[in-house]
Amino acid sequence: MTIEEAKKLMMVEKECINRHCDRDCGKCDIVQNIDDLNSAYDIVLQNLDKEIPKKITIFKYPKINYINYGCPVCRRKIISKIDNVLCCGELSDRCDRCGQKLDWSGEDV
């Protein structure tokens, strides 16, 4: 199921709820398959979770004074710092691979 399909199902579900439907009325074409709705809710929740900022993951290599800052979800490297100089990447508020919102607070980047 795509995000667009999930959104469509959720919009129909909202309409059903607003009509105070009990799903057993059989009077309309809004009543949906529960498995489809479960899939739609899963997709919505997964995407909503990406909107909650997560602390970045830090990989330190002290012997060579090298630090990688990465996504806490997919572990992709976002940016590196060598000898306290940023390089190899771009400071961003989202992971460009998985879309997770990132929390950089408290980090000396």
pLDDT digits (tens, 9 = 90+) for 61-103: 888 889 999 999 999 999 999 998 988 888 899 999 999 999 9
- Residue 32: φ, ψ to 5°: -115, 165
Distance CA 105, CA 54 (A): 10
Strands (E), 15-76: 54-55, 57-61, 66-70
Amino acid at 18: N
pTM across the whole model: 0.68
Distance CA 109, CA 107 (A): 6
